[in-house]
Amino acid sequence: MVKASLLHDIKRLDIDIFRGITRRYKKMNLDLTPMHAKILLRLNESDKLLCQKDLEEFISCNKSTLSSIISTMEKNDLLTREASKQDSRINYLVVSEKGKELINFLKEDQLILEDIINEGITDDEYQTFSKIVDKVRKNIERI
């Protein structure tokens, strides 16, 4: 086995998961991407109002890309931007009614996706995978 392919395998897995979830949402006639789902769930679980800057690190994308994603979500009536009463430069992201309706579905669907993705993986295999992921994270910290 060639260890040099580990980085490629991780990236490929990330892309495959994104594509698989995208296909799933399209089959369900949802005008939603995995990134939209991730943002909606993050906004929902936060105990405070979040602005775009709060999401940048969580989403791991740059300011302009996230701004474009948020604009699309606004057009699709998944969220709105509301100006802060304390600082007019800050716009908080608020989940719309349509977005709230999707959140319950997304929470349930996450459990289904976990079952699908974990199918056929033994507890020992999962533990081994988790150990490898932890080692990779520690190695990344050294970069």
Residue 98 lies in a domain: yes
Confidence of residue 11 (pLDDT cuts 50, 70, 90): very high
Domain that holds residue 39: 32-109
Q: For 18-22, 37-41, 62-66, 125-129, which range has the lowest pLDDT when averaged over its residues?
A: 62-66
What is the value of pTM for the model shown? 0.85
Residue 114 lies in a domain: no
Mean per-residue pLDDT, 23-39: 95
- Tokens representing 84 are 């802060």
Residue 133 lies in a domain: no
pLDDT, tens digit, 9 for 90 and up, residues 109-121: 999 999 999 999 9
Q: 41 and 85 in one domain?
A: yes
| pLDDT surpassing 70 at residue 68 | yes
Residue 131 lies in a domain: no
Q: Please, what is the average pLDDT of the chain?
A: 93
pLDDT, position 2: 55
| pLDDT surpassing 70 at residue 3 | no
Domains in the chain, number: 2
Residue 141 lies in a domain: no
Q: 24 and 47 in one domain?
A: no
Residue 69 lies in a domain: yes
Q: 18 and 87 in one domain?
A: no
Q: 101 and 51 in one domain?
A: yes
Residue 39 lies in a domain: yes
CATH code, domain carrying 52:
1.10.10.10
Q: 67 and 13 in one domain?
A: no
pLDDT, tens digit, 9 for 90 and up, residues 69-82: 999 999 999 999 99
Q: For the chain, what percent of residues have pLDDT higher than 70?
A: 97
| pLDDT surpassing 90 at residue 95 | yes
Residue 94 lies in a domain: yes
